[in-house]
Structure 1
Amino acid sequence: MADTSSPKLDELIARGRRREVSMPEVLWGVIGADLVVPMSGEGIAAMPVVTEVDGVPHMSVFTTLERAAMVGSRADRSITLSGRRVIEGLQPGVGLTVVAAEDGGLHIDPETIARLKGSLRRDGQRDATATADGELDAGARPRGDQAGGPAPAGAGAGAGRAEKAEPAHAHAPASPAPAPVIHPAPAGNLVASTPIGNATVEASASAEEFARLTSVVHQIEQLAPASLREGYSLWFGWVPIIVHQTGPAAFDLITPDLLALDGSWTRDLSLPLRVLAEQSTLLAEIGLPTGASTPSFRDRVIIEAGAESAESVYLHRIPVERDDDSGWYLGISEQDHVRGELRACRVADLLRLRRTAMQLLALPDGTMAFLHGDKLLSVIDANDQQLWPPANAVPESVEEA
């Protein structure tokens, strides 16, 4: 994005601090804005900056690149994401700190984040009911304010709602969620472990991926002990890695089972790490930064009927407005071909349908790539300039593919 600032959000947060607009109005402004996310680490070890607010971990985001520089050495680069994507990607138990003007901003607690996610899942729009707004108002406050403080006299539309927070907890308890299905790691995997406070965290991967696994574990070592809880997740490129408690002071790292895609999990981190390494390698060969354009494993891909098995295919990434759409299209590029019907699948489905395509998915909008069988032939950018193979390389012929 050419302009990564959010001046309208700055103004909205400032008006919220002055009680000229309700806090729910501010929160929905956050969802609709572009946010700058400072990151530390490279490739599979990339992580956002997390700080604690009243003992609760909060991910830090900023309304401008200039303000993102405030984190100093805790980050080495920043990426820009929509507020909706940031909120939907937050793990349970983690809040959000939005840093706006020099002395302003907003703390959003984990419970309010969960309510925002629920509203977005229902219809993608603001839930305008008074009860929902009251719950949101009680769970967000300007940076620097003390939690639970009374609203000042003469406040605006959100005034006085903090006292009405009880209804958010007065409903009958929901039925407990079924225990997740977690598949064991293969017997030949290696295990890396690290202590965090008085607890131990273990992770498993194949011998081929063990070096990358240790990089992940090194990043986990940086977590504050208070962050180590069931369900805490960190996004490594295209997939989340989740903390799963196995004992009073014992935790495993798990990830979605990307081949089953049935809601189950696995202790084997080999596959997501391998794919992420392939994506990072291609980006490095082309000279592009990692992390800025990587879609989620559950984002949508459009596929032409028959493209999963056709010999010659192409992938094209176009800009999209939906946060759950990768922008990728997989089509058949054979001569005199008439385009067939289209269908949607998820990014992770390509592991089964067209495995070679996985290495391409972190490439930016406008990119087009050509495959012959399982061989990558070329990659061009939005201006038809060749990105891969390098200009001085001699590509293999189709006959050798």
Structure 2
Amino acid sequence: MFELSEKAEKLREQLLAFMDEHIYPNEGRYQEEIANADNRWDPAPVLEELKTKARAQGLWNLFLPDSDHGAGLSNFDYAQLCEIMGRSHMAPEVFNCSAPDTGNMETLARYGSPEQQKQWLQPLLDGEIRSCFSMTEPDVASSDATNIGCQIRREGDEYVINGRKWWSSGAMTTNCRIAIVMGKTDPEADKHKQQSMILVPMDTPGVEIIRPLTVFGYDHAPHGHAEIHYNNVRVPADNILLGEGRGFEIAQGRLGPGRIHHCMRTIGVAERALEALCERINEREAFGQPLAKFDSIRKDIARSRLDIEQARLLTLKAAHMMDTVGNKVARQEIAMIKVAAPRMALEVLDRAIQAHGALGVSQDSFLAAAWAHVRTLRLADGPDEVHLDTIAKLELRDYPKNH
């Protein structure tokens, strides 16, 4: 279970070398380019340069299991590469493996028509454009997707879309060209057949980007999270994905692999935080001795290593089950990792921040921004409470009900 395939091991070695040579040395330049840009939402030049290098080395679209479009890796193999990429906030995009594009490309590859794939999937695979996923709404509890209120109404050969969305991640960047929008096509249908997904080009009249949203003060430029209002937006009927009433089905198919990716990237963040913690306490002194001599800090290191290893093993188990018995059978494991990995990473980051003192909460360390980003993952792709409920229901199914 723990061995990578020969292909994945080779890619892992290439990826580690690329991170050392190109990613870590350019993180400062990346931040400077965003801070000094005339438009913070324009793609950072360093990213475009590094994308060319990554693609030339075959480190491109590694997430897609379909060898026609991606690297042809299993979930288990890709998970371990995803952890490496997750160590740097800028890295996934360099390899064309960043959310929400990964989920959108998977959606188009699985459910898109040949025409939809030609128009939107191929440019995404080539890294020519970016995309957003427009599902969450400010007026309803979007943790329950059946609450979605955005209207998608058929009128002749078109659909008319009306609704308010927010946290449409990726919509702020200037090269975002397409949105996958989830809304209701038939409020009278069965509960899980009311929703549909539709492709909406961002330059369609009526698509109004209201504002960027911040995460604990971070706007995540040039990627960003947008509030979008869809006001009488008209798109061809052919833009519907898979057919009316299939939106909930698509959402469930889209989220399984995405949750694995989020969790493994999160483990990468935690590993880097633990490294920063160890380096910090070895180079600083307080009260006449190195910080590494303090028992409380040593226990923080031990707890962090335990926490990381447990989360990694659980996530790899889930990935292995997805490959061998399928996402449906692995549903409980996927739910468990989605709760466990972000909580673990937040604990490790908090310990690292504490050891760094004032530096840990400043912009001179990656720790504060990483904490803010990871905290969102206790909400993204379903809040902890939804996953905990799923875990409990699946656990209880093997026990008879009390009468």
Q: Which TM-score bucket, shorter chain as reference?
A: under 0.3
TM-score (norm 2): 0.25
Higher Rg of the two aligned structures: 1
Greater RCO (CA < 8 Å, at least 6 residues apart): 2
Between Structure 1 and Structure 2, the one with more helix by share is 2
Between Structure 1 and Structure 2, the one with more strand by share is 1
